[in-house]
Structure 1
Amino acid sequence: MTASVPLRPRMLVIGDVMTDVIVRPEGPLVVGSDRRAKIGLYPGGSGCNQAAWLAHLGIPVAFAGRVGRRDLAEQEQALRDVGVVPVLAADDTRATGMLIVLLSEGGERSFLTDRGANDGLCADDLPFSMLNQIDLVHVSGYALFTPGPRAAVMALMAVARARGITVTVDPASVGFLEEVGPSNFLGWTSDASIIFPNAEEAACLTGTRNEAEQIRFLTARYDLAVIKRGAAGAEAANQSIRLKAPAPVVDVKDTTGAGDAFLAGFLAARFAGKALDICLNRGVAAGAAATTTLGGRPTESTPLPLGWGDLSNTGGSPV
């Protein structure tokens, strides 16, 4: 979806801007020698992907982040091309972040990450004035794993909550969660009302793989916990209701950005005032659609998830 005249943003996403180098080896890696592979460059960054999917689903959204100065104009245009209002700061010393994605035959991924300019995000990049007329602030957890960006983002989150603006967060990376400590992350995100972990992140944050115990732990700290469980679908719960939705069977090419699309589908439905079961099903549909193409963002030719207009007639099953 291309927005030549963007609507006034109602959501603000804060997170990383990355260039994704996606590598699809034609077989197992050969240590010390060659393996043929398909290699492509794609725009990425979890927060950027989330904003792009929100815009693709019709939500007026802005994205705030930091890039290398030489890439500023290109990165701004890439966001405008998918309907996102860019609020990007330029870094004079760091290059735009870069991510190498190694894809297995089944579409699963391993990452090598150079965060680059993302680690320079600061308070000057996130003035409180950007909260004017915003209804929801979503924070990608990647913006919380480095001290400088974390201080700036937490300050904005606190002001947003004080103004009655909904704050949501996704933990983003189990590797970084383990590095900084789950209890620290829980403290840093105390101003958020909704958390969106995947299954591994939920296990890390709660210290258990028991799904019911994960729900009890997270809903004691957040108003709503929405857990992405991959091929098993997803679930959403507060202290009074727990819903599950199965994942549809699709031809998986690349799972990069699937969680970001899920989050966008869920929040787009919630923004429209839909019931929790519909939000969950729309998230699952968007996440599944994202796995059928390479890269983490939709393009102007990316169709809406199959059955998107009919999901109001389906619901997650209470458990």
Structure 2
Amino acid sequence: MINKSTKTIVCFGEILWDIFPKGRKIGGAPFNVAYNLNKMGIDARMISRVGNDDLGKELLEKISNANISVNECQIDPNHDTGTVIAKIDENNEAHYTIVEPVAWDFIEWKDEYVNLVKNTEAFVFGSLGTRNNISKQTLQKLLDIAPYKVFDINLRPPFISQEDIVQFMKKSDLVKMNKSELRQLLDWIGVEYVTEEKAVQYVRKYFNLEAIIITKGSKGAVYHDKDNYIYAEAIKVAIRDTVGSGDSFLAGFLAKKVKGSSVNESIENAISLGAFITNSEGACPDYSLETFEKFKTSHKL
């Protein structure tokens, strides 16, 4: 049993099964963040929706077994639990089909969410969970009451709405994106990419963000707020797979930030957790905080 802090972070959006040729794994970017926050000792809550089917019941059982509350996870009587079908091509590359419509497209508003979200240290959401108007409308209400909003853009074609993403950027405090998403965003607002630093600084000011994070895989990450522009190198590890590495990075950062750690400490924890998950199999491997801390100590930045 994890000794959780009194710090709570709420994640909103998709929870699903990634179905690979060799079996299925629990997934969904917001859930990956919640799972790893929980491992870091944060009281992570997941607002989502599963179907009233065997896959949904198994998901709820796994979430509960991971010591994460299922109280905010709705059960849909009419739609199936979310699935993503992964196919591996002749070059060993995975291609994904995100099935629709599914239960997490229909996350309904509940008055009981108000106190939870008003009092959370951070509220985490992405763009995929808004592809249906019902979940999107619920999210918009939650954003109106969340004190600190964290947007992980996480573009997933063809479920991309330029208008929605720009509006969500304007409502956010912290935004995480990768390098290609940064370029896409600049294109949408009609700004030419010159250098990475100028692009990051422009986007932060344009959207009036408290901070922006750019993840760059094996090339590390960039953090920028009004006082800092930090480049952090990646930790070199043997890559088992890269599934959920960006999600774990965000979890590592937020876990330290909400406990009052410095920006440098938060970034170090983010880089370390991202590397640790990349060195493991799947986005939500079973591990202890002690195991991660040993990894972190032996792979100092």
Provide the TM-score with structure 2 as the length reference.
Answer: 0.86
Higher RCO structure (Cα 8 Å, ≥6 apart): 1
Change (3 A) 1:57 1:127: closer
Where do 1:138-153 residues align within 5 Å? Answer: 138-153=124-139
Q: Say what the alpha-carbon RMSD is for the aligned residues.
A: 2.7
| 1:88 maps to amino acid | C
Q: In the alignment, what sits opposite 2:232? A: 245
For 2:60, which of 68, 73, 76 is the aligned residue?
Answer: 76
Change (3 A) 1:309 1:272: farther
Pair 1:216 & 2:204 matched: no
Pair 1:180 & 2:161 matched: yes
In structure 2, what is the Cα distance between the partners aligned to 1:122 and 1:44?
21
| 1:215 maps to amino acid | V
Change (3 A) 1:158 1:202: same
Q: In the alignment, what sits opposite 2:113? A: 127
CA shift at 1:285, angstroms? 1.1
For 1:85, which of 66, 69, 91 is the aligned residue?
Answer: 69
| 1:268 maps to amino acid | A
Task: Give yes or no for contact 1:10–1:61 (8 Å, CA) kept in 2.
Answer: yes
In structure 2, what is the Cα distance between the partners aligned to 1:108 and 1:274?
38
Task: Give yes or no for contact 1:253–1:294 (8 Å, CA) kept in 2.
Answer: yes
> Structure 1 regions of 5+ residues with no counterpart?
24-38, 315-319
CA shift at 1:108, angstroms? 6.1
Pair 1:50 & 2:38 matched: no
CA shift at 1:151, angstroms? 1.3
| 1:232 maps to amino acid | K
In structure 1, what is the Cα distance between the partners aligned to 2:135 and 2:15?
13
Task: Give yes or no for contact 1:109–1:256 (8 Å, CA) kept in 2.
Answer: no
| 2:150 maps to amino acid | T
Q: Deviations over 1:9-64 (max 9, x none)?
A: 611111211101134xxxxxxxxxxxxxxx12111111111100000111111111
In structure 2, what is the Cα distance between the partners aligned to 1:91 and 1:54?
26
For 2:85, which of 100, 108, 114 is the aligned residue?
Answer: 100
Pair 1:113 & 2:94 matched: no
Change (3 A) 1:272 1:127: closer
Task: Give yes or no for contact 1:106–1:253 (8 Å, CA) kept in 2.
Answer: no
Q: Deviations over 1:146-175 (max 9, x none)?
A: 222111101111112xxxx21111011252
Q: In the alignment, what sits opposite 2:15? A: 17
Task: Give yes or no for contact 1:9–1:62 (8 Å, CA) kept in 2.
Answer: no
Q: In the alignment, what sits opposite 1:29? A: none
Percent of counterpart pairs with the same letter? 19
Q: In the alignment, what sits opposite 1:36? A: none
Q: Deviations over 1:261-288 (max 9, x none)?
A: 1010011111121111221121111111
Task: Give yes or no for contact 2:6–2:42 (8 Å, CA) kept in 1.
Answer: no
Provide the TM-score with structure 1 as the length reference.
Answer: 0.82
SS of 1:85's partner is: coil
For structure 1, which segment, 189-198 or 104-113, has the greater mean C-alpha deviation from structure 2 after superposition? 104-113
SS of 1:196's partner is: strand
Q: Deviations over 1:88-130 (max 9, x none)?
A: 1011111111112346799864322114111111223873233
| 1:85 maps to amino acid | S
Task: Give yes or no for contact 1:52–1:83 (8 Å, CA) kept in 2.
Answer: no
| 2:105 maps to amino acid | D
SS of 1:21's partner is: strand
SS of 2:166's partner is: helix
Pair 1:288 & 2:275 matched: yes
CA shift at 1:213, angstroms? 3.1
SS of 2:150's partner is: strand
In structure 1, what is the Cα distance between the partners aligned to 2:81 and 2:169?
26
For 2:178, which of 195, 198, 213 is the aligned residue?
Answer: 198
> Structure 2 regions of 5+ residues with no counterpart?
none
